[in-house]
Amino acid sequence: MTDDSLRSVTVERTSTGHFVATNVRGGTIAFGTGAAEDAEFTPVELLLAALGGCTAVDVDVATSRHAEPTAFTVAVQGTKVDDDLGNRLTDLAVTFHVTFPDGEGAERARAILPRAVKTSHDRLCTVSRTVETGTPVAATVADD
């Protein structure tokens, strides 16, 4: 593995049930437990956003070179279950709602949209590919 293939974030507790993730470029995102009074995303919502966002980036790059969309929304949902396998999401679904204006470039963008979604899902989107292949997660405590 080369240094440019490693991806990482650091998660820091800011108060009870509240955290901030920081990437190597200095970007941050706050999240928490999902208490009713808090608007912060939960970790599960961040996972859903990552699924939709990863594929959205791929699809946007492929289609917007032909035409700028007039609307581009990705709805992502899943059902939280607690069964013999523990807490997890099932029935994950990523649904694209994309429209393009009239014109030749827009016709091409509309034509390639289904293929772009399929290619992202089947090959390009690191997030959905990781979820679908079932990559193990190692959780350890550092000796600090």
Phi, psi of 98 (to 5 degrees): -130, 135
pLDDT tens for 94-115 read 999 999 999 889 999 999 999 9
Q: What would the two tokens of residue 59 be?
A: 């699809």
**Residue 36 pLDDT grade (very low, low, confident, very high; cuts 50, 70, 90):** confident
What's the predicted TM-score (pTM) here? 0.91
| Angle formed by the axes of helices 104-119 and 43-64, nearest 10° | 140
Name the one residue in this structure whose structure tokens are 């009713």: 36
pLDDT tens for 109-143 read 999 999 999 999 999 999 999 999 999 999 999 99
